[in-house]
Amino acid sequence: MGLEEKIPDGIILATAEKVVNWARKRSTWPFGFGLACCAIEMMSSFGPKYDLSRFGMEVMRASPRQADLMIVAGRVSNKMAPVLKRLYDQMPNPKWVISMGACASCGGIFNNYAILQGVDKIVPVDIYVPGCPPRPEQLIDGIVKLQKLIDQEKLKGDSRQSA
Amino acid sequence: MQTETMTVNLGPQHPATHGVLRVVLELDGEVVIKCTPEVGYLHTGIEKTAEAKLYYKVIPMTDRMDYLAPMSNNLGYCLAVEKLLGVEAPPKAQWARVLLTEITRLNSHLVWLGTHALDIGAMSMLLYVFREREDLLTIYEAVSGQRMMSTYFRIGGLADDLPDDFEPMVRKVLKTFPVRFQEYENILTNNRIWRNRTIGVGVISKEEAIKSGITGPMLRAAGVKHDLRKARPYSSYEKFDFEIPTQQASDCFARYQVRLEEMRQSLRIIQQAMDGMPEGRYLARVPGVVLPTKEEALFQMEAMIYHFKLVTEGFHPPKGEVYVTIESPKGELGYYIVSDGGTMPYRMRVRPPSFVNISALSKLVVGRLLADVIACIGSIDIVLGEVDR
């Protein structure tokens, strides 16, 4: 590496892509949006025992306009679906979605008229976290996996399919 | 001067509505003149789905109604089906049920305290209560293998015997929790902001409360000494010694005091249940209706056949209808089951306490400031899973 020997100490060379992705993945602000049972486990993950802030994720935003990550925690009813879609649309790009729990991922045990059979029918989901409800460790694992996904994003063009 | 009223939508996405409640408020300046709670954003169709499930297979869905008090919901449903069948759970199961539903009450009240305080602005409370809640969830996990949706009660008893490490865990809770409750009192009870935000807020008169069908801590905070555990004891509650805390003020602060005292009384019940836990079977011995115990199903041929038949075909309860109510952490929880003699309920209807209590919201908030609405919604202690079912 000829160039790095010539520049002074304390300066690291990296691509803009890497720097941006590094910043994004370490400060993903989740949208404080609980639907049902999973929301309580989501709160447990933010609580003192599991402490999600170790991963730079503790800043729950009450408004979709300030959030990067939507954690769909719980069952989505047909009445709630348009609201959820609208909230997703209000979030600024780049944005990610974690589908937390069996109900959000596929309807779970509620295969009936009232529940949307999977939130991926209305918003693009990046990570599915299984469980009913998932343990906080599972959610944290999902978030760490999402951070790896964010790390691989391309700066030029939208590497992901748009909604 | 001409003034106009303004309509404000609170929810369904709002951090202080405890789920997906939508409240349509008509405001004159900052004063609420009309308040309409709109429910249904979490409608899950549990009652309808129960009509297509065997009696045993309805139990997991009852957990997901009031997801802060899963064991209370299990208990209500199991007691209703037991009444339909004429089966009684053995003493050990009844005492374990009492113990675990009281732990559920602690669990529910703790989350209520944390979220209610968070809404009003005391954020640290949430972190404190979730520290304590982990101790309770460890007990849930030890008995059932699941942290939240335990589904531990069965028709006629329990799913499995209590584990060996159950007692030390409960003793730990009994030892540490009184100190924790004192911590909460130190933080909140004489806190000026807390007192200003809750005293005199959300008052409902005793008569109005009874007329609206309000139950649970909200009713007791209005001065009515009504608790189904005493008024109509179920599952051996008559053998336990505890007080029913009441307050007269009927405001948000009174509800806070009632719930805090209820948690202390729950500890008393847990202590008595743990000390006097009877020995014996954890499932009633009624072949053909009640599942065999795990050991029997593994080592006895007949029990295994019963187990197989119960899980695949279910049982045929007599024709008829039953209504059973229990005192859930939020109030009077009722299960109404109609049987046509088939293996599935013909109709199941749930009387959720939160749903009835939230219907009185407008009586609490009309004429008060918008900020008080948040305190009132918090003090009612609603769980939308139960409201919408």
3-state SS of chain A is CHHHHHCCCCCCCCCHHHHHHHHHHHCCCEECCECCHHHHHHHHHHCCCCCHHHHCCCCCECCHHHCCEEEEECCCECCCHHHHHHHHHHCCCCCEEEEEHHHHHHCCCCCCCCECCCHHHCCCCCEEECCCCCCHHHHHHHHHHHHHHHHCCCCCCCCCCCC
Closest listed residue to residue B378, CA positions, set B188, B246, B230, B212? B188
- Length of chain B (residues): 389
Query: A61 in a domain, yes or no?
Result: yes
| Residue A35 domain-assigned (yes or no) | yes
Distance in Å from the first CA to the final CA of chain A: 42
The CATH number of residue A124's host domain is 3.40.50.12280
Asked if the structure places residue B290 within a domain, the reply is yes
| Residues contacting residue B259 through CB under 8 Å, at least 6 positions apart | B109, B112, B113, B217, B381
- Residue A158 lies inside a defined structural domain of this protein: no
Residue A95 lies in a domain: yes
Joined tokens for residue A77:
């009813």
AA letter at A151? D
Q: Which domain holds residue A112?
A: 28-148
Q: Return per-residue pLDDT of chain A as tens, 163 residues.
A: 577 778 888 888 888 888 888 888 888 888 877 888 888 888 888 888 888 888 877 677 888 888 888 988 888 999 989 999 999 999 888 889 999 989 889 988 888 898 989 898 999 999 999 988 899 999 999 988 998 888 888 776 655 544 4
B131-187 residue pLDDT tens: 999 999 999 999 988 888 888 999 988 988 889 899 999 999 999 999 999 999 998
CA distance B14 to B220: 29
- Domain extent, residue B99, equals 6-30+32-387
Rounded to two decimals, the pTM is: 0.90
| Structural domain includes residue B1 | no
Q: How many CB pairs under 8 A join A and B?
A: 91
B-chain residue closest to A107, CA distance: B44
CB contact under 8 A, A110 and B45: yes
Total structural domains within chain B: 1
Tell whether A32 lies on the interface with B, counting CB pairs under 8 A.
yes
> Chain B contact for A41, CB < 8 A?
yes
Task: Give domain status of residue A109, yes or no.
Answer: yes
Q: Which tens digit of pLDDT belongs to each residue from B335-389?
A: 999 999 889 999 999 999 999 998 888 888 888 888 888 888 888 888 888 888 8
Report yes or no on B47 lying in a domain: yes
- Show residues of chain A in contact with B54, CB under 8 Å: none
Query: How many domains are contained in chain A?
Result: 1
Contact B80, B322 (CB under 8 A): yes
CB B237 within 8 A of CB B215: no
Does A14 map to a domain? Answer: no
CATH of the domain at B125: 1.10.645.10
Among B18-22, B195-199, B234-238, B376-380, where is mean pLDDT lowest? B18-22
- Nearest alpha carbon to residue B112 among B10, B282, B260, B316: B260
Query: Å from B167 to nearest chain A CA?
Result: 23
Assess if residue B361 is contained within a domain.
Answer: yes
**Interatomic CA distance for residues B18 and B112, integer angstroms:** 9
Report whether pLDDT(B77) > 90: yes
Q: Show the CA angle centred on residue B356, arms to residues B353 and B362, nearest 5°.
A: 135
